[in-house]
Structure 1
């Protein structure tokens, strides 16, 4: 098969640049227009800042999760790691943001390195490995905090990260998330490491035979995911004024839902950081609109319905992915069958 034929069957550009990804973007725009037309304060500065500031944590862990899922893995520990990092950052907040911020990120990266070690060295499946670290991080945060919230030091500059604006324009959390998203995009789209991550998800054994650094790429993905979770934990402590060991429950599902809604395949090999961010914003915007509807008295849904909605989104999108994958597999096999039939004739 020549290179032209191989390019014709390369599904990567199709999924990452159109189809579901474009559909999610259009859905996001439609929701924004709907909200602006229906609610008086929907486009106000306070609602926009609050929405982006709160969802910054979920966007962060979704970006990290995207790189992991692209390799064909999964990271179930991100929510518990964020909670653990929030406790670490709260304890170190008296020393200022310059100490608490890197400490929280390093705590998250340490769990990411542990995940990579268990998966790559001990050969434990990612689902089991990250489930174990989920429990370990959750238990560690409860032990470290005594199962209580840890108040931050309000006399230091630690709370500026979650409560103040950069250059009096945008919240610091939003600016930092934008920087992280750009870095992740550059890594995935413009570096050999990004191409390796995609190749590993497309076929780990084939990638190894090609001489690619499979282990290094997967280790990077898990450490990057852990670092994003750690940074989300710092945002949590700084924005809410306390390290919260009981937070983070279900965050991994939110991240997975955002990644999958954005068009990344759970089987790996295809995905986009930009689409993941759009998916996270779409899910967050759905809940923002529901809050406005609750305020109008149109409906009355508790916060617990958020999990039901996330689960429904995830289920429907997975069904869609399975259908698309079957169709493309059938189309990909059709030329081979025709060639075989011609050869036998």
Structure 2
């Protein structure tokens, strides 16, 4: 029975992974041929700076979904992390960094404890903390639209706006994202924590029978998701020069879409860190191309259309994933 379930899941994951990579490459070629400046240093740097935040929360979401869970709170945690980072920026970039990551990790810890100790479904738990984290961000910001960062803290600003070695081909947020994915890839595939997360998603009851500490692993993935969302909040504050308590609305949808389009099943048990990164970049590239089209004057889409496109994109991917999974399972003897 185990092999019957896993085989179509792996096949579906492979199809999705190669498909999303091919789509990303085709979009890059299309953009390069159609738009002047698409492959410019400026567009590359701007693209990576902004989408690094979506990449980071997608990485955390990948670990959560691999276990069969979901984290709807990441968008609000990004907002909370940005406010905490801004408030701590007068005390140094390091303290702001630690504060943002710690605030996210605490929300993740709360999620994990409620899910594992109280046996509340992840959807309900993280929906509640979504509201709670957003409210806390607004409280810390005194209900203001933004919290200014210390203008004299150049290191803090460098984390969001700086470049390594003085070249825009290496924006700091993009480098931080890639480093996080390198570590995440090693953890998921080469450590007991990652292998146990995959096993739990494949069958939680079977994992318990094998002696795995299911509660500890699930707690760990939610803490990781929260910490990465907090780091994304730091980057947000550093880029905009202010903590943003109202930012991050709908970002959890982008993270889920990125992970699912990369081949990670919503039911858990299979997934790829790098495919999640490709999924995040693909979704970001779609909006980048739409911005270029706006510039040509051929179409005119307001920013609110991004939410519509994200929702439609996620729905399409889930439907295709469901159809392919059912077909693959039906072909099994």
5+ residue gaps in structure 1? 336-345
Query: Who is 2:11 aligned against?
Result: 14
Offset at residue 195 of structure 1 (A): 1.1
Does the 8 Å CA contact 2:75/2:252 hold for their aligned counterparts? Answer: yes
Does the 8 Å CA contact 1:15/1:263 hold for their aligned counterparts? Answer: yes
Query: Who is 1:52 aligned against?
Result: 48
Offset at residue 7 of structure 1 (A): 9.4
Query: Who is 2:236 aligned against?
Result: 236
Offset at residue 12 of structure 1 (A): 5.4
Partners of 1:216 and 1:253 lie apart in 2 by 26
Partners of 2:143 and 2:282 lie apart in 1 by 33
Match for 1:83 among 79, 85, 93? Answer: 79
Query: Who is 2:315 aligned against?
Result: 315
Name the TM-score, length of structure 1 as normaliser: 0.93
CA change 1:217–1:8 in 2 (3 A) is: closer
Superposition pairs for residues 34-49 of structure 1, below 5 Å? 34-49=30-45
Does the 8 Å CA contact 2:82/2:233 hold for their aligned counterparts? Answer: yes
Aligned-residue CA RMSD in angstroms? 1.5
Alignment: residue pair count: 329
Q: Does 1:217 pair with 2:199?
A: no
Match for 1:109 among 105, 108, 129? Answer: 105
Superposition pairs for residues 25-174 of structure 1, below 5 Å? 25-148=21-144, 149-156=146-153, 157-169=155-167, 170-174=170-174
CA change 1:144–1:8 in 2 (3 A) is: closer
Does the 8 Å CA contact 2:86/2:96 hold for their aligned counterparts? Answer: yes
Superposition pairs for residues 237-276 of structure 1, below 5 Å? 237-276=237-276
Offset at residue 15 of structure 1 (A): 3.8
State the 4+ residue runs in structure 1 displaced beyond 4 angstroms. Answer: 5-9
Offset at residue 14 of structure 1 (A): 3.0
Does the 8 Å CA contact 1:15/1:270 hold for their aligned counterparts? Answer: no
Partners of 1:298 and 1:97 lie apart in 2 by 43
Does the 8 Å CA contact 2:258/2:280 hold for their aligned counterparts? Answer: yes
5+ residue gaps in structure 2? none
Which digits, 9 at most, give the CA deviation of each residue in 1:64-118, with x for residues without a partner?
Answer: 0011001000000000011011000000001121110011001100000000000
Which digits, 9 at most, give the CA deviation of each residue in 1:109-131, with x for residues without a partner?
Answer: 00000000000001110000000
Partners of 1:263 and 1:310 lie apart in 2 by 17
CA change 1:322–1:7 in 2 (3 A) is: closer
Q: What SS does structure 2 have at the residue aligned with 1:159? A: helix
Larger Rg: 1
Does the 8 Å CA contact 2:8/2:325 hold for their aligned counterparts? Answer: no
Partners of 1:52 and 1:323 lie apart in 2 by 33
Q: Does 1:182 pair with 2:182?
A: yes
Partners of 1:76 and 1:110 lie apart in 2 by 15
Q: Does 1:330 pair with 2:327?
A: no
Which digits, 9 at most, give the CA deviation of each residue in 1:279-305, with x for residues without a partner?
Answer: 000000000000000000010111111
Segment drifting more, 161-170 vs 122-131: 161-170
Partners of 1:144 and 1:204 lie apart in 2 by 38
Name the TM-score, length of structure 2 as normaliser: 0.96
Partners of 2:18 and 2:119 lie apart in 1 by 37
Which digits, 9 at most, give the CA deviation of each residue in 1:140-160, with x for residues without a partner?
Answer: 011110121100001012111
